[in-house]
Structure 1
Amino acid sequence: MSMQASDLVIPDVALWAMRHRLTPQQAIFVEAYRQDFDPVKALRIAGFSGRNKKALAMKLLNQRNIQAALKARNEELHCRAEEMREAALEWIRDMLEANLADIFDPNERPRPVADWPVIWRKGLVHSVKVQSKPGHSATFEFQIKISDRLRFLELLMRHLGMLGPRIKRNEDKKLLAAAQAAQKNADRMALRKP
């Protein structure tokens, strides 16, 4: 797939390019360079011409305004990544802390799915199965299969450095074993409500 200069132009290019006093071609060069860090390819995408493309690309990369623009754009990307990281960690924390009682009314009947908290509707419930019991016309069996919270816990622990990539401490193994036992016990209690 070949990139075109128009593919890299985004609405705020003019603003950040003006801030660093870049021409439109230089702004496209900066964005193209950030894509795969190939200066000659970025030069071609930006539409620069010349005989020695590598020398021209290096000359562009050594300009102070282009270096400043690259640094600023990378900092913006880093800030966005931090925001996404924080949102993902918050989502995982919400999944781990979700309470099964939130999806039942005070009479222990399942609430309508629209009334469930967002975390249950968009992540924790793997499947819902409702069947009528044979011989009983008004009795239903309600089963919920919950996503594997243990896996989310393990990923979170690994991310926070509590589990090494290769070596797990005995305490971590015990914690994971206890969490697995709790998960299996919760799975066995396949919610069967009349």
Structure 2
Amino acid sequence: MSMQPSDLVVADVALWAMRYRLTLEQAIFVEAYRHDFDPVKALRIAGFTGRNGKALAMKLLNQRNIQAALKARNEELHCRAEEMREAVLNWTRDLLEADLDDIYDESNQLKPVAEWPEVWRKGLVRSLKVDATAENIGRNRVKLSLTDRLNFLELLMRHLGMLGPRIKRNEDRKLLAAARVAQMSADQVALRKLYK
């Protein structure tokens, strides 16, 4: 007697649910409960019926296999969040370290957008306008609008707790204001370079 592929997998039950011997309804209950931590709502979404929904939901939550499945799914979510955190921090570093020279070639002409580094194409440039009027015959005037990197850095630093308690906020604001002025002057120098 040979096994068929249909014998290996129960229809519509995920592999993680099979590992914990959950029925389809129990697997749906676990996922719905993880979504908003409302056991009665999760019970309703999973399709369980009965008079006392709250008691049935608590009975399901107390089952060892459902507790183990919840723990495993939460750990899996935590691991994915850590991976995403690393990706966000790498993207942030690239965003903050991006140089205007990255989008110019050796002859000081703007490269085609397809040749720009990814950070410039996916977040650093808010808008790009090309002015090809009769006045600028032979040369197109380009106007770039960039993302406010210092504002982004300030938000990130606040999120990571690097700006200190409320008492230090005034000092932090002064430092950030000085950094903004320095960034604006650097951007003006870069724009002058663009229009030379």
Give me the TM-score of the superposition, normalised by structure 2: 0.82
Structure 1 residue 164: Cα displacement: 4.0
Aligned length: 184
Tell me which of the two structures has the higher relative contact order, counting C-alpha pairs closer than 8 angstroms and 6 or more residues apart.
Answer: 1
CA distance in 1, matches of 2:133, 2:100: 23
Q: Which residue of 1 aligns with 2:195?
A: 193
In the alignment, is residue 184 of structure 1 matched against residue 184 of structure 2? yes
Q: Deviations over 1:130-183 (max 9, x none)?
A: 324764522432322211111111122112211247443565334312320122
Whether 1:63 and 2:63 are equivalent positions in the alignment is yes
Quote the residue 2:109 is aligned against.
109
Q: Aligned partners of 1:53, 1:116: CA distance in 2, in Å?
A: 57
Residue 142 (structure 2) pairs with residue 142 (structure 1) = yes
Identify the residue that residue 130 of structure 1 maps to in structure 2.
130
Aligned counterparts of 1:149 and 1:96: Cα–Cα separation in 2: 6
Contact 1:109 1:193 in 2 (8 A): no
Counterpart mapping for 1:24-173 below 5 A: 24-132=24-132, 135-164=135-164, 166-169=166-169, 172-173=172-173
Percent identity of paired positions between Structure 1 and Structure 2: 70
Q: Which runs of 5+ in 1 are unaligned?
A: 1-10
Deviation at 1:12, TM superposition (A): 8.7
Q: Offset at 1:13? A: 4.7
TM-score, normalising length from structure 1?
A: 0.83
Q: Which runs of 5+ in 2 are unaligned?
A: 1-10
Higher helix share: 2
Q: Alignment RMSD, CA only?
A: 2.3
Alignment partners' CA distance in 2, 1:133 and 1:183: 30
Indicate conservation of the 8 Å contact 1:39/1:58, yes or no: yes
Letter of the aligned partner of 1:193 in structure 2?
Y
Indicate the SS of the match to 1:163: coil
In the alignment, the residues of structure 1 paired with residue 91 and residue 171 of structure 2 have an alpha-carbon distance, to the nearest angstrom, of 25
Q: 8 Å contact 2:12–2:24 — kept in the other structure?
A: no
